A and B are shown apart, each in its own frame.
Chain A
């Protein structure tokens, strides 16, 4: 099998600089409507104030892990909110923790991306228990000699830098287990 040409032998895990985001508060989930989505993940304020997770389904305490909304009827899992289960249409959900270790079932090495996205990086799908998770594969050389389908990986966190309030943005990825 032929391999691709030169790709720098490191995987950037943090952006070179913090990308500020405007302070718009979405109205999502605050409308009090009887048909409002249920099973919302908890608000970010439960996390340590000086560390802010990249997404609300990343929990930093007690140890970093991902959470999903699980349909209490059929067990389908969602990383965002749903009004009804996409699989069985039931409307009850509970929050469940996702295992932090899993198997890499697909990946790509992105070497050409939108402006502002550092390359190369490894994007992949990790099967954590019964749940597929999307994430970057980090702490590994970004080439197909090192990144292998079927390899065991575990959740880890990455720093996104700090904002004007001194809060650190925390991202996640998967590293070789």
Chain B
């Protein structure tokens, strides 16, 4: 029977950081076992498994089964850039909505500690010294560094600078202060990879990677996993009071890709598909940005966080700098953003990120977030975007809210 309502029954993330003693399967299994225990269920209850490990060799779902329980259920191995975790989550949600299953497990995992610069082009082959056009653009040499930059810090730097050019007000210092906010938030998150507050001066005088993004304004490559158990509303009714009380309702689950825009082949357009996803998510949830109690958005770089205030409708068009200056996105502000510390300090183990941000929201909606609890949080939004591009948005609501 097709399900109208889907809930998160159990959800967990591992500590993000360096896990030299654990491989991706160990980390994924740790998150999956914890999510199952959090939901009070076992692999025997799961009817679908969706799993992602972007930089891995594939078939991570089957490897997880071998580690924690093989029952013959369908496995979907998903890959969708930085939206991989959100895509795994949504795959299970779709299965439950379609009535194919009433309970399922989504897992995202990455080992990325020490990975360095992501997205940068490879070096030239050295067999013979001859200019030979190759590939889609007939290039005779690698274009990274010769025709702009392929690496992520510079790509997202341009995303923020473009916003600044269009609307004004953005500066190196504004971007750095966004980073200062998130590093400050991370001090209250024991699962973050980095939990040190950083001063504005420390951030601005840190190693420059791609102006205006210094090292501490870039997402932290690290290891980590996150997993969630999802359940249909009908099935949830048969579970215990405790399980029903802690269940978090999925009010919206949206995935978008790039609609054509003039410049999207030149500089990735992270704006249009995020605006599209936000519009659909608010429609599906029947809520607006003014109803949100907290937001976890994809701050892969400080320059990205600014544009997503606007893209998610947290402020009016072009008002992102004013929104930040108002203090709204601080933990004590009107609409806290990235209370977890965000990708800049919590870390960004790619495929885990799109479930870990949902975990952070659930943590608050269940009133279990301890020192960093947003008091009375009822509705939250989790956003990820992966280049190429894919954008995932989930809007979540505590069960106690209705």
Partners in one complex: yes
Residues of chain A whose beta carbon lies under 8 Å from any beta carbon of chain B = 1-5, 7, 15, 18-26, 28, 41, 44, 52-57, 76-81, 86-87, 105-119, 121, 123-125, 130-136, 144, 149-150, 160, 163-165, 167, 169, 171-172
Contacts of B214 in A (CB 8 A): 4
Tell me whether chain A's interface is mostly helix, strand or loop, or mixed.
Answer: loop
Most buried by B among A26, A106, A116, A118: A106
CB-based contact B162/A19 at 8 Å: no
Known: A19-B123, A20-B126, A149-B161. A130 touches B141 (CB 8 A): no
Contacts of B132 in A (CB 8 A): 21-25
CB-based contact A109/B137 at 8 Å: no
Closest to A121 in B: B145
Question: For residues 110 through 149 of chain B, which have their beta carbon under 8 Å from a beta carbon of chain A?
Answer: 117, 120-149
The tally of CB-CB contacts under 8 A between chains A and B is 221
CB pairs A–B below 8 angstroms (26 shown)? A20-B130, A22-B125, A28-B135, A52-B131, A54-B141, A76-B260, A80-B136, A86-B260, A106-B161, A107-B161, A108-B149, A109-B208, A111-B210, A111-B211, A112-B117, A112-B153, A113-B149, A113-B151, A114-B150, A119-B145, A133-B266, A134-B147, A134-B148, A136-B146, A160-B141, A164-B130
Q: Which of B131, B154, B166 contacts A167 (CB 8 A)?
A: B131
CB-based contact B148/A136 at 8 Å: yes
User: What interface size band does chain B fall in?
Assistant: 35 or more
CB-based contact B144/A87 at 8 Å: no
CB-based contact A125/B267 at 8 Å: yes
CB-based contact B117/A114 at 8 Å: yes
CB-based contact A116/B123 at 8 Å: yes
Question: Shortest CB–CB separation between residue A16 and chain B, in angstroms?
Answer: 12
CB-based contact B117/A106 at 8 Å: no
CB-based contact B127/A123 at 8 Å: no
Whole-angstrom distance between the alpha carbons of A78 and B138 in the complex?
14
Known: A80-B136, A149-B164. A113 touches B158 (CB 8 A): no
Whole-angstrom distance between the alpha carbons of A40 and B211 in the complex?
36
Known: A20-B128, A24-B132, A106-B158. A113 touches B145 (CB 8 A): yes
Whole-angstrom distance between the alpha carbons of A108 and B120 in the complex?
15
CB-based contact B153/A54 at 8 Å: no
Question: For residues 281 through 306 of chain B, which have their beta carbon under 8 Å from a beta carbon of chain A?
Answer: none
Contacts of A2 in B (CB 8 A): 172-173, 176, 204
- Any A CB within 8 A of the CB of B263: yes
CB-based contact B140/A160 at 8 Å: yes
Question: For residues 159 through 181 of chain B, which have their beta carbon under 8 Å from a beta carbon of chain A?
Answer: 159, 161-162, 164-166, 171-173, 176
Contacts of A115 in B (CB 8 A): 123
Q: Which of A20, A130, A165 contacts B262 (CB 8 A)?
A: A130
Known: A109-B211, A123-B158, A169-B141. A114 touches B151 (CB 8 A): yes
Question: Shortest CB–CB separation between residue A99 and chain B, in angstroms?
Answer: 15
CB-based contact A78/B265 at 8 Å: yes
